[in-house]
Structure 1
Amino acid sequence: MLFYRGLKPALVCLVFFAVMGLVRGSVAAQLALHENADLPGVQPVELDARERQWIRDNPKVTVASVQYPLYLFQDEHGHWSGLNIDVLKRVTAMTGLRFEHHESFSTDQMLERLESGQADMSTTLAMSDERKVFLDFSHAFGGAGWVFVGRAGAPSVESLEQLATRVLVLPARHALEDVIRREYPSIQIRSVKTYAEARALVESGEAYATIENEIGAQLYPLGLLKVGALVEGKWEAEHLAVRKGMPELLSILNKALEAFPAAELRAIRLKWLEGISPAPSPSLWQRIIEWGCWAAVVAGMFGLLSLVWNRRLTVVIKQRRAAEKSLGDQLAFQHALIDSMPDPIFVRDLQGCLIMCNRSYEEALSVRLDQIQGRLLIEIDALPEATALMLHNEFMVQLRTRKSRFSKRYLQLKNGRREVYQWTVPFYSADGNLRGLLGGWTDITQRRTESGCRCQH
């Protein structure tokens, strides 16, 4: 009855959301292409003559690939698929590079192929001091934390200190192995070939724990295992690793990643990583409303971001020397990427004053950047006084000690008590000087309410 009484306005709304859905659907269709890497409507990046000649001389780039579910794997037809494949398809459309995947069966074997020159690059290697000796790493295009995985019947592993005198099993040449050996010599490290072998040793009790990417740790049935805390201060950024001696390839990849639209990169990540926890199938009306809302939010966000960033970029370019011009594009990409993230993120200077934040931070505190920029947390009326003072004092301690902080905690906000996962890390200038703090948080309470995620505690 309500439909017939409000027939005319309902039809108007239906047409509007249908148009928005078609727009969103066209983007999704591009992302879903499996075989065709020549994506329509993709603008090629501007390459110099040396880079174009390199592509002509090297028609195929050999990629050493280890199957890592969601990021890189072979489907039932033997085709390579996953998040990293979608990223490489976009790079192909932007640059003309062609990638040929050669499967490796362990991280150690993949590194040997790169060292020996049998492969040109990899998409799943984390950065470490050992690997930087023979590899160059591109700009980051995402990342995740490391988590401890231990036996279900044992106390949950919360820190590396807890593993003193115990056996930690890691795949050979793990990205954290050198750091752990150097900083925690009392930990007994045992090397195996694969993560599967590491999990088996933990299940059997021959090892106390292993360390995995937090996304990958959730993909397998836990059985006798359980996921513990994040490894504090350790973050696995996602890079493309290129063997030394190929500066042209590294430059081409960096240009493509800099020009990668932040909204499309976020859509690719959501396509592969958001489905880890099963969710009920939405109805047709829910899909239409979701399409319409996302289209309106994305259009508004990018419209405002375009206006603000263009003005700022114009001023910056006039003040920079000609040799620093290339940094502008990189900063634009990083700023757009941060602003598109769903979790609140902020940057503070050495005095604790706010330098910048993303839209999620503004929405979480019900403020605007122009109202709080250049001010201390305790100088604005965005949080309860006790909460603001506590957080400000923590910032000051971190700036003095230069230590990162990762914690799961409860915070009293103006809209109630919230369970959050909070992180803050110092950041430095190119010459190594401390410049301030980068931080943010994930609202666990809101995520649990909205998605019904069944999380481990």
Structure 2
Amino acid sequence: MLFERAIKPALGWFLLLCLSGFVRGGMAAQMVLHEQVQAQKIELIELDERERRWIRDNPSVTVASVQYPLYLFQDEHGHWTGLNIDVLKRISAMTGLQFVHEESFSTDQMLERLQSGAADLSTTLAMNDQRKAFLDFSHAFGGAGWVFVGRKDEPAIQSLEQLVKRVLVLPARHALEDAVRREYPSIEVLSVKTYAEARALVESGEAYATIENEIGAQLFPSGLLKVGALVEGRWEADHLAVRKGMPELVSILNKALGAFPAAELRAIRVKWLGGVAPPAPLSLWDEIVGWGCWGMGGLGAFGLLSLVWNRRLTAVIRQRCEAEKHLGDQLAFQHALIDAMPDPVFVRDLQGRLVMCNRSYEEALSIRFEQVQGRLLFEVDALPEATARMLHDEFMVQMHTREARFSKRQLAFKSGPKAIYQWTVPFYSADGQLRGLLGGWTDISQRRTESGCQCPH
């Protein structure tokens, strides 16, 4: 009863927390469904006359695109896809602009195309002072940090100070290259074309580390590389980079990003980065609910196990009580059976100590069982000492030989000599081990007297 009183409140709290989680999950599902429905109703944003005229004159925008998995890449059919493609599709639906992708094969090549006017836009360039000289950047629509990538057999890189007098390999015109050269002149910066080449040099040991976007760094697992800490104070915001001389396009893009539904942008990022990006920290309520559910779940499991164990223990105790009662009944029956025998009967252990006897044995030797239990025959004043020692020695020999014995003999008792028929047999346990002797006798003299027999002895 006490256990039930303790477990009922705990189960109540557990059910309450589960219901709370269910309600919150249902509300979240409804919100997502609502957001999806709203996302389907895309309306053109309001543009001024100058911006509308620019779109009429420039309906297509050339995008210099370097494949960057999850953000911008070509699928197995050669179609461009990724997070940035989804963003551009939404902007296209809001403005009427058409984005035409032309592939570049390195950051350096992409920058050259933008500088030369061969391309109008890029979606994967980070902003720095050098690039601001020939590029304009839109409002940010997300971002990620920069992380160090080093060899697996070296300590994880935590800061740029660890790279002093070491080789840092970066793709040419990397967003952090100028800052590293300016602030850490003792770091040897090696330029290559692509991130793949940079990783290869780190793997081979020709460079000590490289720096990558934290999302991209997780996409190229290698047994020789490992991701270190974030580069402190450096954040790569996601911008749309537009070549100089196109202020109308920058204005149009900023208006589109400003009108971009936050829920839809969040859904796009979760779609592409949900399994890679570091998880958002849980709120205090989420942590409380989580720990509460774990705690209640553990308590519920403990309670269930306790109930099962109690039931099992109760069953075992009941079985043992029944077995003890059955054994007690058997012992009572055995005692009654032995006591009902008219002739003396006794049981002695391996040392010859008395274990059991019947009433006839007590009467024949004028003793009480309680007085002689556990004692040797010659330790009790029930028979002449010579007779007692002789019988004890015979018992010991018989337990050594393990042979049954049946004989007629004359024995001296306290009341005088008697002719008896004596029997003693070894008895064994269930596993075949010798446990002692079972014996008794019949008073032949008394039987003859009672029957009136005058036969010679």
- 2:135 is aligned with 1:135: yes
**Superposed CA offset, 1:326-345 (max 9, x none):** xxxxxxxxxxxxxxx9548x
Partner of 2:125: 125
**Superposed CA offset, 1:200-237 (max 9, x none):** 00000000000000000000122200000100000000
Partner of 1:149: 149
How far 1:276 moved relative to its partner?
2.7
For these two proteins, the number of residue pairs brought into alignment is: 269
TM alignment of 1:244-393, pairs within 5 A? 244-276=244-276, 342-343=280-281, 360=283
Partner of 2:234: 234
Q: Which amino acid aligns with 1:132?
A: K
How far 1:45 moved relative to its partner?
1.0
Matched residue of 1:180: which SS?
helix
How far 1:365 moved relative to its partner?
10
Question: Whole-Å Cα distance in 2 between the matches of residues 226 and 21 of structure 1?
Answer: 37
Partner of 1:43: 43
Partner of 1:98: 98
How far 1:183 moved relative to its partner?
0.3
Question: Whole-Å Cα distance in 2 between the matches of residues 251 and 199 of structure 1?
Answer: 38
Partner of 1:327: none
Moved over 4 A (4+): 16-23, 25-30, 341-344, 362-366
Question: Whole-Å Cα distance in 1 between the matches of residues 36 and 271 of structure 2?
Answer: 9
Partner of 1:436: none
Matched residue of 1:55: which SS?
helix
Question: Whole-Å Cα distance in 1 between the matches of residues 277 and 259 of structure 2?
Answer: 31
User: Could you tell me the percent identity over the aligned residues?
Assistant: 74
Question: Whole-Å Cα distance in 1 between the matches of residues 31 and 227 of structure 2?
Answer: 39
- Judge conservation of contact 2:35–2:263 (CA < 8 Å) in 1: no
Partner of 1:347: none
Q: Which amino acid aligns with 1:268?
A: I
How far 1:24 moved relative to its partner?
3.6
Partner of 2:60: 60
How far 1:44 moved relative to its partner?
1.5
1:19/1:164 Cα in 2 relative to 1: closer, same or farther (>3 Å)?
A: closer
1:210/1:241 Cα in 2 relative to 1: closer, same or farther (>3 Å)?
A: same
How far 1:46 moved relative to its partner?
0.6
Question: Whole-Å Cα distance in 1 between the matches of residues 135 and 35 of structure 2?
Answer: 34
Matched residue of 1:275: which SS?
coil
Q: Which amino acid aligns with 1:154?
A: E
TM-score by length of 2: 0.55
How far 1:54 moved relative to its partner?
0.2
Question: Whole-Å Cα distance in 2 between the matches of residues 76 and 70 of structure 1?
Answer: 14
1:235/1:22 Cα in 2 relative to 1: closer, same or farther (>3 Å)?
A: closer
Question: Whole-Å Cα distance in 2 between the matches of residues 17 and 177 of structure 1?
Answer: 45
- Judge conservation of contact 2:215–2:277 (CA < 8 Å) in 1: no
Question: Whole-Å Cα distance in 2 between the matches of residues 211 and 80 of structure 1?
Answer: 26
Rg larger in structure: 2
- Judge conservation of contact 2:168–2:209 (CA < 8 Å) in 1: yes
Partner of 2:80: 80
**Superposed CA offset, 1:283-303 (max 9, x none):** xxxxxxxxxxxxxxxxxxxxx
Question: Whole-Å Cα distance in 2 between the matches of residues 197 and 138 of structure 1?
Answer: 30
Q: Which amino acid aligns with 1:93?
A: A
1:277/1:365 Cα in 2 relative to 1: closer, same or farther (>3 Å)?
A: closer
Partner of 2:189: 189
Matched residue of 1:63: which SS?
strand
Question: Whole-Å Cα distance in 1 between the matches of residues 263 and 208 of structure 2?
Answer: 41
Matched residue of 1:206: which SS?
coil
**Superposed CA offset, 1:85-105 (max 9, x none):** 000011011111110000000
Q: Which amino acid aligns with 1:188?
A: E
Question: Whole-Å Cα distance in 1 between the matches of residues 172 and 144 of structure 2?
Answer: 20
**Superposed CA offset, 1:365-393 (max 9, x none):** 99xxxxxxxxxxxxxxxxxxxxxxxxxxx
Root mean square deviation, CA, Å: 2.9
Q: Which amino acid aligns with 1:196?
A: A
Q: Which amino acid aligns with 1:225?
A: L
Matched residue of 1:268: which SS?
helix
1:100/1:224 Cα in 2 relative to 1: closer, same or farther (>3 Å)?
A: same
How far 1:139 moved relative to its partner?
0.3
Question: Whole-Å Cα distance in 1 between the matches of residues 76 and 202 of structure 2?
Answer: 30
Partner of 1:210: 210
* Unaligned ranges ≥5, structure 1: 1-13, 31-38, 279-340, 345-359, 367-414, 417-457
Question: Whole-Å Cα distance in 2 between the matches of residues 261 and 26 of structure 1?
Answer: 12
Matched residue of 1:197: which SS?
helix
Q: Which amino acid aligns with 1:238?
A: D
Question: Whole-Å Cα distance in 2 between the matches of residues 178 and 125 of structure 1?
Answer: 15
* Unaligned ranges ≥5, structure 2: 1-21, 293-457
How far 1:178 moved relative to its partner?
0.2
1:187/1:25 Cα in 2 relative to 1: closer, same or farther (>3 Å)?
A: same
Q: Which amino acid aligns with 2:208?
A: Y
Matched residue of 2:59: which SS?
coil
**Superposed CA offset, 1:302-333 (max 9, x none):** xxxxxxxxxxxxxxxxxxxxxxxxxxxxxxxx
1:48/1:343 Cα in 2 relative to 1: closer, same or farther (>3 Å)?
A: farther
Matched residue of 2:136: which SS?
strand
